[in-house]
Amino acid sequence: MKRVVIIGAGASGMLAAKVASDRGYKVIVLEKQKRCGQKLLITGKGRCNITNNCEIEELIENVPTNGKFLYSAFYTFTNDQVIDMFNDLGVETKTERGKRVFPVSDKAVDVVRALEKQMRSNKNVEVLLNSKVDKIEAQDGKVKKVILSDKREIECDSVIVATGGVSYPRTGSSGDGYKFARNLGHTIIKPKASLIGLEVMEDYVTDLAKLSLRNVSINVYNSKNKKIYDDFGEMEFTKYGLDGPIIKSASCRMGDLSKENYKIVLDLKPALDEDKLDKRVQKDFQKYANKNFENSLNDLLPKQLIPMIVKLSKIDPYIKVNQIAKEERKNLVHLIKNITFTVKNYRPIEEAIITSGGVKTSEINSSTMESKLVSGLYFAGEVIDVDAYTGGFNLQIAFSTAYLAAINC
């Protein structure tokens, strides 16, 4: 019986184990953590955005790094098949804004349990937890065995490396796969953070920490004042700056901060143009005509945000609303639609949802996920130099590449 070793029991590893075992292979899954699917448990804020319910071409468009490499993978194991798989496993799904697919329960643990149960359902699968791999050995250009850190050796015909990247290392993603690949002659594109929070220059954000905003929009500009990205949706303030879905997506479009400066312009009321917003503000000002300015914005803005807006507006917080000049009001309206933040830094790579970089795609057969350098060596998921925007696309990459590797190994 053909022996396949899968390194890593995350999304890619668990699916690959199921598919390979169904082909009649003996599958040994090696996971260095004490349980499977550790990183899956925290994806989508614990809700797990399993895929995106869009057309295949749209999937590819949402993979800015080497998207075309994934044609075979996406067409061989589609997003529809991922949804069907989870439904068959008893995990009902729902599609939310942006075609993002979640379990109806909103619990990532349901996704992990389903994948693990599916993997263990075949008696040909052996899962070894707390089992850290030291290296993969090859002989005459072909995979021969896997050596664990405790010196155990497992001989095999194929190895699927599904170790993830270097984001969230506490879940087991500490870059091991890069080491295995490099030792076997592969080129590693330097890993960097993708889908990451941003630190900003403006120190008043610390007062806004943990404030979440919905239905806001952002425009991102480079140092030439050219708009490079815009988005609409949810974001949040942190003690260091900005985070949340639209900020993480923006981070993918930004380059090396030592070579380029970026600013983010936040619109708190994107549904209203300045004229309509001005009419809305006038209505509130009439209602609170005899109140101090600082007490006149409660109907319009989140309470935690008001002190910052008052300060940035440069209107006296204690002036009576009926004494505010038209020009001051117009400036306030403009401010609400144009709050500017200067990007200082990315948060550490350990906090990134996804790692950009990894095993160079030109050294992997895109039709099989097999190494072009070592026969019997396959790659799946984040260890490959592919990464996508937020919205379920990265998990689709994990599932599709795992399936392709498993049917070819």
pLDDT tens track for 71-89:
999 999 999 999 999 999 9
Which pLDDT score, from 0 to 100, does residue 347 have? 93
Check pLDDT > 80 for residue 171: no
Express each pLDDT in 297-350 by its tens digit: 999 999 999 999 999 999 999 999 999 999 999 999 999 999 999 999 999 887
Q: pLDDT per residue over 192-218, tens digit each?
A: 888 899 999 999 899 999 999 999 999
Cα angle 185, 189, 190 (rounded to 5 degrees) comes to: 120
**Whole-Å CA distances, 6 to 137, 297, 373:** 14, 57, 18
List all residues 6 or more positions away from 388 whose beta carbon is below 8 Å from its beta carbon.
62, 63, 64, 65, 67, 354, 394, 396, 397
Give the integer Cα–Cα distance in Å for 33 and 255. Answer: 33
Spatial neighbors of 366 by CB under 8 A, at least 6 apart, are: 69, 70, 71, 72, 73
pLDDT higher than 90, residue 181: yes
* Rounded Cα gap, residues 292 and 380, in angstroms: 60
Centroid of chain to Cα 22: 30
CA angle 190, 161, 170 (to 5 degrees): 70
Kind of pairing between the strands at 93-96 and 339-346:
unpaired
Contact 391, 64 (CB under 8 A): no
* CA distance linking residue 246 with residue 264, whole number of Å: 11
258 pLDDT band, cuts 50/70/90, is confident
List Cβ neighbours of 40 (8 Å cut-off, separation of 6 or more). 10, 11, 48, 108, 111, 112, 115
Q: How far is CA 45 from CA 98, 109, 196, 200, 212, in A?
A: 17, 12, 14, 23, 13
Rounded-to-integer distance, Cα 39 and Cα 274, Å: 43
237: which 2 tokens?
A: 């303030």
How far is it, in rounded angstroms, from Cα 356 to Cα 64?
A: 10
Mention every residue, 6+ apart, whose C-beta is less than 8 A from residue 197.
238, 240, 241, 242, 243, 247, 248, 251, 346, 347, 351
Regarding pTM above 0.95, the answer is no
Q: Please tell me what DSSP assigns to residue 175.
A: S
The answer to whether residues 259 and 225 touch, using CB atoms and an 8 Å cutoff, is no
Amino acid at 40: L
pLDDT tens, position by position, 225-234: 999 999 999 9
Superfamily of domain 3-192+352-408: FAD/NAD(P)-binding domain (3.50.50.60)
Strand partners, 143: 138
Side chain identity, residue 154: I
Percent of the chain whose pLDDT exceeds 70: 98
Q: Which ranges of 245-377 does DSSP label H, i.e. alpha helix?
A: 245-253, 274-287, 306-313, 326-336
Largest CA distance in the chain: 86
Contact 194, 346 (CB under 8 A): no
Look at residue 167 in the predicted model and tell me its pLDDT. 61
How do the domains of the chain map onto residue ranges? 3-192+352-408, 197-346
Average pLDDT, the chain: 94
Neighbours of 196 (CB within 10 A): 27
d(CA 326, CA 116): 63
Q: Record the tokens describing residue 12, joined without a space.
A: 């890619």
Q: pLDDT class for 52, splitting at 50, 70, 90?
A: very high
